Amino acid sequence: NGNFISIKNIRNFHYHSQSIYDIDHYDQTFCLDDIKTATIGFVPFSKNIFVVHAFIKFDFKDDNHVVFSVELRKRKGKKFSFWKNIFPYCEIMYIIADQKDVIDLRVKHRENESVNLYTLNLTTAQLQQIFWDMCVRANKLHSRPEFFSLFFNNCTSNLIDHLNKAADCRIPWFYKHISPGLLCKYLLKNKLTTWQL
């Protein structure tokens, strides 16, 4: 509705451990004009620097925050499989969540998992475009689901698509399909991000 975007069922789980949590959701209306900053987070899967999970957090003037995390919709009781997800196996989904949900889960309750945060050095207009585009993409997946693909349709490739629509320099296909784990270095080198202490 103009510059206002209403998001239903923002995930806000309260974790006691990785597998024990209280389920909670809330609805929130955001004004694009109130976006202050955005942070991109990288979560290494292992010592392999080529593979990471990436998400983006938006901060608003009224101290509201929301995180977009592109993930695969795992089947109940199944664990992530590198080999199976080379081919179409699970759906891809956009998790829209509270920052305490997405970030706290990883830094407090998952063993050997860390989160590296970088501030996006983009204009307010560019951040607004990314936020809008991610909402549109989430709606499209709701009406027309797609399969997750380890190389062609994953968290980083989708995030790069959103960044490329807004950023002045285009991120090469190499970081999108071959080596997403090196994306953080590319963004720093090209001054698109600043590392958060």
Task: For residue 162, count other CB atoms closer than 10 A to its CB.
Answer: 20
Q: What tokens appear for 15 in the block?
A: 């974790």
> In whole numbers, what is the pLDDT of the chain averaged over residues?
88
124: phi then psi, degrees, rounded to nearest 5: -60, -40
Q: Cα angle vertex 23, ends 61, 57, to 5°?
A: 30
Tens digit of pLDDT for each residue in 52-91? Answer: 889 999 999 988 999 999 998 777 766 665 556 566 778 8
Predicted pLDDT at 48:
62
Predicted pLDDT at 125:
95
Which pTM was predicted?
0.90
Name the strand (E) or helix (H) holding 118: strand 116-120
Which pLDDT tens digits describe the chain residue by residue (197 residues)? 889 999 999 999 999 988 899 999 999 999 999 999 999 999 887 666 667 889 999 999 988 999 999 998 777 766 665 556 566 778 899 999 999 899 888 888 887 778 889 999 999 999 999 999 999 999 999 999 999 887 788 889 999 999 998 877 789 888 887 787 888 888 999 898 898 85
Distance CA 59, CA 99 (A): 10
Distance CA 159, CA 171 (A): 11
Predicted pLDDT at 178:
74
Nearest CA to 59 among 129, 124, 156?
124
